[in-house]
A = this chain, B = another copy of it.
Amino acid sequence: MSLIVAKFGGTSVADVERIERAAEKIKREVEAGNQVVVVVSAMSGVTNQLVGYCDSISKLQDLREYDTVVSSGEQITAGLMALALQKRGVSARSWLGWQIPFRTNDMHGKARITDIDATEIQKRLAENEVAVIPGFQGVTARNRISTLGRGGSDTSAVAMAVALNADRCDIYTDVDGVYTTDPRIVPAARKIKKISFEEMLELASLGAKVLQTRSVEIAMKKGVALQVLSSFEDHIGSDIPGTLIVKEDKNMEEELVSGIACARNEAKVTLLGVKDEPGIASKVFSPLSKAGINVDMIVQNIAADGETTDMTFTVPRTDLARSLEALEKAEIDYKELRSAEDVAKISIVGVGMISHSGVAEKMFSTLAEKGINIQVISTSEIKISVLIAEDYAELAVRALHSAYGLDKED
């Protein structure tokens, strides 16, 4: 007997028919003798509609009211899922965030989980009752509904798995696993059977939209075995057909590069002719940090005159306007401020990378062969990212995917 947390995303519960299909999967898990907690997203499109209502009233919202509105989508799916399970003879009940309680801090709109009281749910699981939990929502100490930010249902699922000490957390989605890159860009992309948390984290944060970053972070920290599965295929009883996300182990290192990610959500900012003196980096980045803007890739070149320097970095595209404003207001001595949104960040990710030479060189030469200019480079132990012109993004992904031998064999 295992305790399984199964999370169904928006497309997996898009309508009543799909909710019923998801309930079938749960039923089979229960029949196999497992205790199951189901975490559900809003039916696809619902959250966007609710956010749209709020935005059409006011862009600067009281986020407590925003959370009250947008959390309804998951509440609806949770009740419907409980009904669909009961219809199949599976004992089930829904548990809203405030009923559990699933406690968060009061950073409404992007709250952090503080504490989950799973006592009552644990008791019911032991009585073979399935717990259905709306993802994305929690409750604050002031008894208001909070939400965890877009994609937060993955985080809800992993947090429930931690609170219940679950054996596995299955993430059902509209793809059947994590791929070496976006199959819409590279049809030859292969499904990855097993990937380390670290690699998944890089892929998730770099634009592979399968899992929310925070959920992978929590799973890694707490050692929750994660599995990404298709909700449209039958998997129970068969070999694991999705992607298993686990602790790094030796045989993973066979592949130097596990995947290629492409992110188009960053913008490039360049400060030309910054006076080169100690503390200048802090002067540039502290106003951004104060404004809550995450700076990602950074390069600094010494300018020809030897007295000034050029600094280039990337920020989230949605924060570009605020970033430029913050820089203009700050007391920084520079000649010119430039920005561009037509950039893409291409990354190669793999835990085996660190112990092998030539991985980076292959990336640079592959791009050079295609005539693609690299604007910024940044590296970590398990990834190398380059910023290039957005127009070349697909070409770069395809070329790298092939260069690192990731293409599917026909």
Binds B, one of A58-66, A166-174, A255-263: A58-66
Q: Which residues of chain A from 127 to 152 have any CB-CB distance to chain B below 8 Å in the complex?
A: 143-145
A324 to chain B, nearest CB (A): 20
Copies of this chain present: 2
* CA distance in complex: A302, B20 (Å): 49
A145 to chain B, nearest CB (A): 8
B16, B68, B86, B96: the one within 8 Å of A53 (CB): B16
Q: Which residues of B contact A96 (CB under 8 A)?
A: 68, 145
Q: Which residues of B contact A64 (CB under 8 A)?
A: 93
Check if B87 sits within 8 Å of A65, measured CB to CB. Answer: no
B66, B86, B87: the one within 8 Å of A83 (CB): B66
Check if B58 sits within 8 Å of A86, measured CB to CB. Answer: yes
> Given that A75-B75, A76-B72, A143-B99 are known contacts, is A65 also in contact with B83, CB under 8 Å in the complex?
yes
The reply on A82 being an interface residue by CB < 8 A is: yes
Check if B68 sits within 8 Å of A84, measured CB to CB. Answer: no
Check if A87 sits within 8 Å of B57, measured CB to CB. Answer: yes
* CA distance in complex: A86, B99 (Å): 28
B65, B76, B86: the one within 8 Å of A93 (CB): B65
* CA distance in complex: A12, B80 (Å): 28
* CA distance in complex: A56, B54 (Å): 29
Check if B68 sits within 8 Å of A78, measured CB to CB. Answer: yes
A99 to chain B, nearest CB (A): 6
The reply on A98 being an interface residue by CB < 8 A is: yes
What string of 1s and 0s marks CB contacts (under 8 Å) between A9-47 and chain B? 000000010011000000000000000000000000000
A322 to chain B, nearest CB (A): 16
Q: Interface residues of A toward B: which range?
A: 35 or more
The reply on A79 being an interface residue by CB < 8 A is: yes
* CA distance in complex: A87, B144 (Å): 20
The reply on A347 being an interface residue by CB < 8 A is: no
A349 to chain B, nearest CB (A): 38
* CA distance in complex: A149, B53 (Å): 26
The reply on A181 being an interface residue by CB < 8 A is: no
The reply on A337 being an interface residue by CB < 8 A is: no
* CA distance in complex: A94, B50 (Å): 16
In the complex formed, the residue of B with least CB distance to A59 is B87
B19, B65, B75: the one within 8 Å of A86 (CB): B65
The reply on A377 being an interface residue by CB < 8 A is: no
Check if A61 sits within 8 Å of B83, measured CB to CB. Answer: yes
The reply on A69 being an interface residue by CB < 8 A is: yes
A89 to chain B, nearest CB (A): 11
Q: Which residues of B contact A72 (CB under 8 A)?
A: 72, 75-76
What string of 1s and 0s marks CB contacts (under 8 Å) between A285-301 and chain B? 00000000000000000
A44 to chain B, nearest CB (A): 14
In the complex formed, the residue of B with least CB distance to A94 is B68
Check if A65 sits within 8 Å of B82, measured CB to CB. Answer: yes
**Which 9 A-B residue pairs are closest in the complex by CB-CB distance?**
A69-B79, A68-B79, A72-B72, A65-B82, A65-B79, A58-B87, A57-B83, A65-B83, A16-B56
Q: List 5 A-B contacts (CB under 8 A).
A: A53-B76, A62-B82, A65-B79, A65-B83, A67-B79
